[in-house]
């Protein structure tokens, strides 16, 4: 799950944050998640390759099972 940004939700506070980032007073780089960037890239490639090999029926079965699990229903 992706982590949310630590930016302020208030419009005025966000404007101040943006001004501080632009002037160099604050750093706006995302925190390191501890994962190897090369491994993350390979994982994304693998997922796309797996989806390309699957039939539409199989993808539908997987999606239905995931939705059932997400909403607490048994298939």
Q: Write out pLDDT tens, residues 15-46.
A: 998 999 899 898 888 777 888 888 888 888 88
Boundaries of every domain in the chain: 49-75
Tokens encoding 28: 């706006």
Q: Which of 55, 13, 10, 24 is nearest to 63 (CA)?
A: 55
- Give 58-73 pLDDT, tens digit per residue: 999 999 999 999 998 6
């Amino acid at each position: 799950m992706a982590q949310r940004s630590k930016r302020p939700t208030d419009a005025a506070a966000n404007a101040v944050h943006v001004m501080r980032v632009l002037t160099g007073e604050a750093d706006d780089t995302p925190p390191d998640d501890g994962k190897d960037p090369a491994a993350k890239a390979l994982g994304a490639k693998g997922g796309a390759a797996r989806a390309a090999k699957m039939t539409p029926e199989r993808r539908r079965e997987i999606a239905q099972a995931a939705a059932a699990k997400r909403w607490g229903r048994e298939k």
